[in-house]
Structure 1
Amino acid sequence: MKGVLLVNLGSPDSTDPKDVKRYLDEFLMDPRVIDVPYWLRSFIVRGIILNTRPKKSAEAYSKIWWKEGSPLIVLSERLQDKVQSHTNLPVGLAMRYGSMTIKKGLEDLISKGVDDVLIIPLYPQFAMATTETITVLADELQKEYFPDLKISSLPAFYNKEAYINILSNSINEEIKDLDYEHLLFSYHGVPERHIKKQDITKSHCKIDGSCCNTPSEAHQFCYRHQCYETTKQVAKKLQLEEGTYSTSFQSRLGFDPWLQPYTDRTIERLGLEGTKKMAIVTPAFVSDCLETLEEIAMEGKELFKEVGGKEFTTVACLNDRNDWAELIANWINDWSKN
């Protein structure tokens, strides 16, 4: 029997600094998130970050926490329910980090008679710190705990026409009546070394402004290319004029070079250059979360107004939109026929 496991990033169990610290430890100690030797990663995370960041992160989570719990968890559960209503296959939900583990998700599906699972990482673009860490962990769990379970995964869908149509429609619904001057596509950042590590050709990715536009099999696993391609496809669909939109990357950590341009500096630059009205969309996320609700909608807005901006509109993620849920169900139903 076939079944599906939707997998998102995860969340602390609460806004208590202890829960946030536990969550950050699991997240940041993942070797595909901070990809340095264990001793160095442990020193950075447990020797430095976890001694200062949990309290600050807990305060940030408190600003966006809902009565029902973590927005990302609540929205993912709503999406799961809607997807389930459009397919006869069992649809489970798990998180890469936190208490809603992938292991628990697989166990729940197996208890329903499932022996063939499609993992759907809820990330449009492929990255080693998102998609890959989910699929690698699922494979490890399969080998250790579920040897009779068949597991496959849905590839990155950043360039699927149906997805681009829904993303474009969701953006258009929120900006069509706005007199905005600039639309910023902000994607979660990753270290530049991640891009080069994922280059299967070992020679294509130069992060020089041209390689992402030069056809290559490397693009199959190139997060940077896939982000720019998402922007390109949406801009084409919405017929955006050149110069009225751009791409940037948020949430950098540490001192190593991350993908540029940085979102905070782009917001600041736009304001200083005289932009008074801007909108921002975050297509690396399908569910609103700390990075969209606090970092962008709150901190980004504050920064924009500090440098002279007037109106700052944050476009919601796809969340539990009906058309988005129906599309996922269509992918599931198509898979079930194979």
Structure 2
Amino acid sequence: MKGVLLVNLGSPDSPDPKDVKKYLGEFLMDERVIDVPLWARNLLVKGIILNTRPKASAAAYKKIWWEEGSPLIVISERLQNKVQEQVQVPVALAMRYGSMTIKKGIQELVDKGVDEVFLIPLYPQFAMATTETILVLAEEIRKAHFPDIKITDLPAFYNNADYIDVLSNSISKHLSGKSYEHLLFSYHGVPERHIRKSDVTKSHCKIDGSCCKTPSKAHEFCYRHQCLEVTRLVAEKLQLQEGTYSTSFQSRLGFDPWLLPYTDRTIERLGKEGIKNMAIVTPAFVSDCLETLEEIAMEGEEIFHEMGGKEFTTVPCLNDDDAWVSLLSKWINNWVTKPETQTVNGK
């Protein structure tokens, strides 16, 4: 019997500093998030970050926490329920970090008789710290606890034509009737070394002005290329004029080089250059979360206003949008009915 496991990032159980500290500890100790030797990761995370950051992060979570709970969890559950209505196989939900574990998600499916799982990381682009860490952990759990089940995963869908249509239409709908001079595509940042580590050719990714535009096998796992490609495809779909949109990266940590340009500095620059009305979309996420609701919608808007900007419009993530639900359901139904040799998302 087949079943589906949707996997998102995760969330603390509450905005209480103790719960936030526990969550951050698990998240930041992941070797694919902070990819330094264990001794250095222990020193950085347990010796510094967990002694300084939980209180500030808890305050940020409190700003965006809903009555029903964590926005990311609530939105993901809504998505799960809507998808379940459109497919004939069981759909479970898990998080990479936190109490809604991947092991629990697989167990839920196994208890319903599932022995073949379609694992869907809820990220359009591939990255070490998102898709890869989900797939690696899921395989470890399968081998240790569920050796008789089979897991198939959904590849990155950043350039899938149907996904680009859904994303473009969502942006267009939310910006309809609004006047804006610049649309900023802000993606979650990663250290530059992650890009090089993910380069299967070991030579293509130079993070310069050309490598992401030059065809290569490396692009299958290149987060930077995939982000830039989403921007390009959406801009083409929406017929955006050159100079009226750009790409940036948010949420950097530490002192190592991260992908440029940085979102906060880009917002600051646009304000200084006289842009009065701007809009921002965050296509690295399919569900609104701390990074979109607090870092972008609150902190970003504050920076823009400080620089003289007037209107700051945040485009919501796809969340449980009906068109997005229908597309996910289509991919699932394709997987259920099509032979293994055929793709499920049209790529």
> Which TM-score band applies after superposition, normalised by the shorter structure?
over 0.9
1:152-181 Cα offsets, whole Å, 9 max, x none, are 110000000000000000000111211100
2:298 alignment counterpart:
298
Aligned pair 1:208/2:192, yes or no? Answer: no
Is 1:322 the equivalent of 2:322? yes
Aligned-partner Cα distance in 1 for 2:328–2:89: 12
CA distance, structure 2, for counterparts of residue 270 and residue 330 of structure 1: 39
**Partner amino acid, structure 2, of 1:254:** G
Query: Are residue 168 (structure 1) and residue 168 (structure 2) matched?
Result: yes
Q: Once the two structures are superposed, what CA deviation does each residue of 1:76-131 show, in whole Å capped at 9, x if it has no partner? A: 00000000000001000000000000000000000000000010000000001000
* 1:69-148 superposed matches below 5 A: 69-148=69-148
Partner SS, residue 212 of structure 2: helix
Structure 2 Cα separation of the partners of residues 290 and 176 of structure 1: 25
C-alpha separation between the residues in 2 aligned to 1:212 and 1:176?
31
Give me the whole-angstrom Cα distance separating, in 1, the residues matched to 2:157 and 2:50. 34
**One-letter identity of the residue aligned with 1:322:** D
Alignment match, 1:269:
269
Name 2:9's counterpart in structure 1.
9
Cα deviations across residues 249-307 of structure 1 (Å, max 9, x unaligned)? 00000000000000000000000010000000000000000000000000000000001
The code of the aligned residue for 2:127 comes to A
Partner of 2:312: 312
Counterpart of 2:255 in 1: which secondary structure? Answer: coil
Counterpart residue number, 2:222: 222
Q: Aligned letter for 1:272?
A: K
Q: Distance in 2 between matches of 1:318 and 1:14?
A: 24
Residue equivalent to 2:345: none
What are the superposed Cα offsets for residues 188-224 of structure 1, whole Å, 9 maximum, x if unpaired? 0000000000000000000011100000010000000
Structure 2 Cα separation of the partners of residues 307 and 212 of structure 1: 32
Paired residues for 1:171-250 under 5 Å: 171-250=171-250
Q: Deviations over 1:301-321 (max 9, x none)?
A: 000000100000000000001
SS for the counterpart of 1:85 is helix
5 Å matches for 1:144-155? 144-155=144-155
2:178 aligned partner, one-letter code: L
Aligned Cα RMSD in Å? 0.4
| TM-score (norm. length: structure 1) | 1.00
CA distance in 2 between partners of 1:89 and 1:173 (Å): 31
Report the counterpart of residue 344 of structure 2 in structure 1: none
SS in 1 for 2:313: strand
- Following the alignment from structure 1 to structure 2, what is the Cα–Cα distance between the partners of residues 332 and 279? 33
Greater shift after overlay, 258-267 or 167-176? 167-176
Cα distance in 2, alignment partners of residues 117 and 134 from structure 1: 14
| Whole-angstrom distance in 2 between the partners of 1:325 and 1:22 | 32
TM-score, length basis structure 2: 0.97
Q: How many residues align?
A: 338
**SS of residue paired to 1:213:** coil
Partner-residue secondary structure (3-state), 2:320: coil
The residue identity in structure 2 corresponding to 1:29 is M
